[in-house]
A and B are shown apart, each in its own frame.
Chain A
Amino acid sequence: MEWLVAVPQFLAGGLAIGAVYGLIGAGFSLIYNTSRVINFAQGQFVVYGGLSAVSLVANGIHPLLALPIAVLACIVLGGALQAVLATARRGSDELTFILVTIGIAIAWQGLAHQIWGSGYHTFSLYPEGAAFVLGASVSYGTMVTLGVTLLVCLVLWLFLYRTLVGKAMRACANDPRVALTVGIRPRTMVLGAYLASASLGGLAGVLVTPSLMMSAEFGVLLGIKGFTAAVVGGLANPFGAIVGGILLGLFEGLCVGLISSDLQDAYAFIALLAVLLLRPQGLFARKLPAGVR
């Protein structure tokens, strides 16, 4: 039991990656809320965000300037994705859209592979090193990631609950047809959701690349973890997704530490299964009354 002293370390590790899962998961949630589509290309925003930043920094651009440019690049991608989906015939169901996002994810992964090759890349955004909290090493990268995640929560909350556009988006999520009757264009809201989740994914990518590195291949796994975070927290609620991500990260860290590291990636899926079976609406979403979707 001598390794029980390492429990804070298990939690610290989980916190860092969990915040990233949460940012990706919030993107899933935003798009799902406005359009009932699960965007499986979400993980690719992370890859493009991270790798664009790598390229920008390699070309002499300051990392702090590279961050917004990389996020902007992802926003363009998000717009493109929505534009493709918008060409679908009226009346196509959500399943079609979901399959299209899978196709686009695979195409983007291939493209990333062509652009950045197959290796893993990194750049430095924050100073290397770590502080010790309760005997656990918490890297500056973890602190920056957590801080930015909190900031994102605040901005997202202000946007959704304190601006008219945010209110319109929530109305649209609630019932697009009723929203339409009061003059809200659901299509515009859906586009807004895609742009917002692309920027969240890109931001997660830029944040994670300096400490964990990034490769064209990482999108799929990060996307699935983000999706799990969203399901754990409740797909209907982006803040739930962020908390869900952090919980998922902590759960993974603890399981690896206390049970076995052989199953590191399996724990997320165990959590996913458990939540889907026991509390399908997620931990932080209100249970919807029967008859309402």
Chain B
Amino acid sequence: MLDRNQERRRVLKVLGATGLATLAPAVARAKDAEAWRIGAALDVTGGASFLGVPEHNAIVLAVEQVNAAGGIKGRKVDLAFEDSKSTETDSVLAVRKLISQDKVSAIIGPSRTGGVMAVLPIATEAEVPLLAPVSGVNVVEPVAQRKWIFRPGQGGDLSVGKVLDYARRAGWKKLGILYSADAYGEDGRDNMRKLAPDFGVTIARVESFPPASTDLKPQLAKLSAAGVDAIFMHGYGAPSAIVYRNAREMGLKAPIISGHGQANNAFRNAVGPAVVGQPIVGAPVLVWNELPDSHPQKQPAAKFVEAYTARFGAAPDMFAGVAYDSAQMVLQAIRETDGERAQIRDWLENKVRNYVGVTGVFNFSPTDHAGLTRDALVMMIATEGGWRLADYEK
């Protein structure tokens, strides 16, 4: 529905401008050919819509801003959007449509690691640069097979590293893993298994839950019985909030530390007081006002949060930030090249060096298509109303 409405609106606009209904189709094509056309396939519906909606907002904002400033080289920027609906199938359909019908020069999305894994071969074969605002490590590795894929999102390995760093500070030796049984959760589990030994942490028990789970007490009971110091939870959506509520009802002693899947307003609003005091990996954009002035993200985040809040009436979360950075990079690539697909790809790979975004400082290279380091993440502590920066980060 959304895309059709957009299409209709686009056509209507052209109709109004020319006033020549009979010539409309031809004019529409001509107008569209003049605009720079970038694509977004995001999960604005379905289980990952809490990611897709703010991401879509952020990209709309970026495009509106550039068009308000006169476009690029005198041409407007046109956003072609498709809903990837939080499923692999719809992700594939959305990306195919963007490539073959909308003929976009670059694509941002889909919102989930699983969706991106599904569309990798399509973007690669069609030679369209794809910027994935996700965390999965396999999205950009092995890099030789991921020539057209870039991942501006905070990697799962970075998030897990941040969790382990916290574990070391807190003196936790024995961790349990609770992950959602999908690509995102498995990525967290695998990274944790791989990195834990480096931090002197052992994994005592591993449990999973389906992405539409409604009760997680059995899993929590098993983790608790294994005598873990803390539980690392890597999931998203409603079940991740249920975890905290169940844990509180059970009087669970072990703290729950979570990856960045929880650093969003939808989670915070749904979980209520059950999460207060628990550590959550987040991004500078969420706690920008607590950051020291020297922090490279303080100024960009402040500007972005202000513009986004003014436009959408609510503060952005970290996913919005990643999508905004992705859009800005594509726009910058178009500015500095002729906007061809291959040129945008080459620009991303070679020109994104110490690129200061809202999310972090990005560096892409021919051997690394994951742009960020652990500095792009911060540890937060959930409070009554939201979150605060963990003291050691200040």
Contact = CB atoms under 8 A, between A and B. Distances in A.
Interface of A: 2-3, 5-6, 9-10, 12-14, 16-17, 113, 117-122, 128-130, 132, 136-137, 139, 208, 211-213, 215, 217-218, 221, 253, 256-257, 260-262, 264-265
A257 B266 contact: no
Given A9-B218, A129-B249, 10 more contacts: A3-B222, A6-B224, A12-B217, A17-B215, A122-B272, A128-B249, A128-B274, A139-B249, A215-B238, A217-B46
A118 B44 contact: yes
Query: Which of under 10, 10 to 19, 20 to 34, or 35 or more describes the interface residues of B?
Result: 35 or more
Interface of B: 44-47, 49-50, 52-53, 181, 207-210, 212-219, 221-222, 224-227, 237-238, 241-242, 245, 248-251, 266, 269-270, 272-274
Contacts of B227: 2
Given A119-B266, A217-B47, A264-B209, A137 B250 contact: yes
Given A5-B225, A119-B49, A253-B218, A262 B208 contact: yes
Contact of A120 (B53, B219, B221, B237): B237
A2 B225 contact: yes
14 contacts: A3-B225, A6-B222, A9-B218, A13-B216, A16-B215, A119-B49, A119-B50, A122-B272, A213-B241, A217-B46, A257-B221, A261-B219, A264-B213, A265-B210
Contacts of A129: 249
B221 A213 contact: no
A221 B209 contact: no
Contact of B50 (A10, A13, A118, A137): A118
Given A113-B45, A118-B53, A129-B249, A256 B219 contact: yes
Given A13-B217, A211-B245, A253-B218, A118 B208 contact: no
Interface of B is mostly: helix
Given A17-B215, A119-B50, A261-B209, A130 B221 contact: no
Contacts of B210: 264-265
A13 B219 CA distance: 10
Given A10-B218, A119-B266, A213-B270, A262 B181 contact: yes
A42 B324 CA distance: 40
B218 A261 contact: yes
A256 B44 contact: no
A218 B242 CA distance: 14
A130 B181 CA distance: 27
Given A215-B238, A221-B212, A262-B208, A9 B217 contact: yes
Contacts of A212: 214-215, 238, 242
A139 B210 CA distance: 22
Given A2-B225, A129-B249, A130-B250, A120 B241 contact: yes
B43 to A, nearest CB: 9
